[in-house]
Amino acid sequence: MCGRFTLTYRDMERFAVEFGVALTDTDRKCYRPRYNIAPTDEHWLVRGRLEERELLSGRWGLVNEWSSDAKRAARQINARAETVDRSHAFRAAFKTRRCVVPADGYFEWMGPKNARQPFWFHREDGGLLFLAGLYECWFTEPEAPQTTFTILTTDANRVVEPVHDRMPVLLDAGSVDEWIFTPETHRARLHALLTPAPDDAVVATPVNPRVNSVRYDDPECLAVAPGALL
| Domain assignment of residue 146, yes or no | yes
CA atoms within 13 A on the CB side of 143: 0
Residue 176's CB: how many other CB atoms inside 10 A?
Answer: 20
DSSP state of 71: T
C-alpha dist (Å) from residue 157 to 5, 199, 230: 18, 6, 14
For residue 229, name the pLDDT band (cuts at 50, 70, 90).
Answer: low
Alpha-carbon span 73 to 51, nearest angstrom: 29
CB 122 within 8 A of CB 103: no
Structural domain that includes position 19: 5-222
| Domain assignment of residue 58, yes or no | yes
Alpha-carbon span 62 to 70, nearest angstrom: 9
Q: Classify strands 52-60 and 144-155 as parallel, antiparallel or unpaired.
A: parallel
- The number of domains in the chain is 1
Residues 29-81: tens digit of each pLDDT: 999 999 999 999 999 999 998 889 999 999 999 998 878 777 888 889 999 99
Residues 133-169: tens digit of each pLDDT: 999 988 776 667 889 999 999 999 999 999 999 999 9
CATH at residue 177: 3.90.1680.10
| Domain assignment of residue 228, yes or no | no
Which residues are catalytically annotated? 2, 108
CA-nearest of 130, 196, 213 to 160 is 196
Indicate whether this model's pTM tops 0.85: yes
| Domain assignment of residue 229, yes or no | no
